[in-house]
Amino acid sequence: MDWLIPVIAVVVVAAAVGIYLWATYNSLVALNVRVDEAWSDITVQLKRRADLLPNLIDTVRGYAAHEKAVFENVTRARAETLSANGPAEAGIAEGHVQQALKSLFAVAEGYPQLQASQNFLQLQQAIVDTEDKIQASRRFYNGGVRELNTKIKVFPNNLFARSLGFTEREFFEVEGGTAIAEPPRVQF
């Protein structure tokens, strides 16, 4: 009977460790899926904005055809956004898009007829709405990444999380923070 107490203790400890590993693994999987979903939301909004930009360029070009460099910058930034793979590349592309949009809207301010165009106003509003959705999606994504990375780094999870295939994820940070510190000014 003396051997029964150590055996029970070992079984209880093994069961506690097993339950802990099971619960931690499942929570890491759930966090990983949440981050993937949040990244998908961001890519949907980036694609939506990229789809709006050609119409905006065409509308502004109708009034300011001589602003070729501005249109090329927006087109280049759009292409960069569409070809970005992952948060780091998307962050760089996002900074370029913000700068290009800033220039495009600055050009548009010099054309009162363009400012009065219903098509231009609708496109501006759609882009503002999309920018708001990108910002919200970015916050959700970065929050999920923060939770996942924290869960991977804390002790004792850091002892086994990587061996189970969980790695830290990148935050979606815009290169050149000044580009978003002062968003494009849209006047109605």
Splitting the chain (188 residues) into consecutive groups of 10 residues, what average pLDDT does each group show? Answer: 87 94 94 96 94 91 84 92 92 92 88 86 92 94 96 92 92 70 51
Check residue 110 and give its pLDDT: 86
Check residue 174 and give its pLDDT: 85
Check residue 185 and give its pLDDT: 54
CATH fold, domain 4-181, is de novo design (two linked rop proteins) (1.20.1440)
Check residue 183 and give its pLDDT: 52
Listed in order, strand segments (DSSP E) in the chain are none
> How far is the C-alpha of 130 from the C-alpha of 149, rounded, in Å?
28
Q: Write the DSSP symbol of residue 57.
A: H
Give the closest residue to 115 by CA, choosing from 181, 168, 64: 64
Q: Where are the domains of the chain?
A: 4-181
Q: Are 187 and 115 in contact (CB under 8 A)?
A: yes
> How far is the C-alpha of 130 from the C-alpha of 117, rounded, in Å?
20
| Token pair for 187 | 């006047």
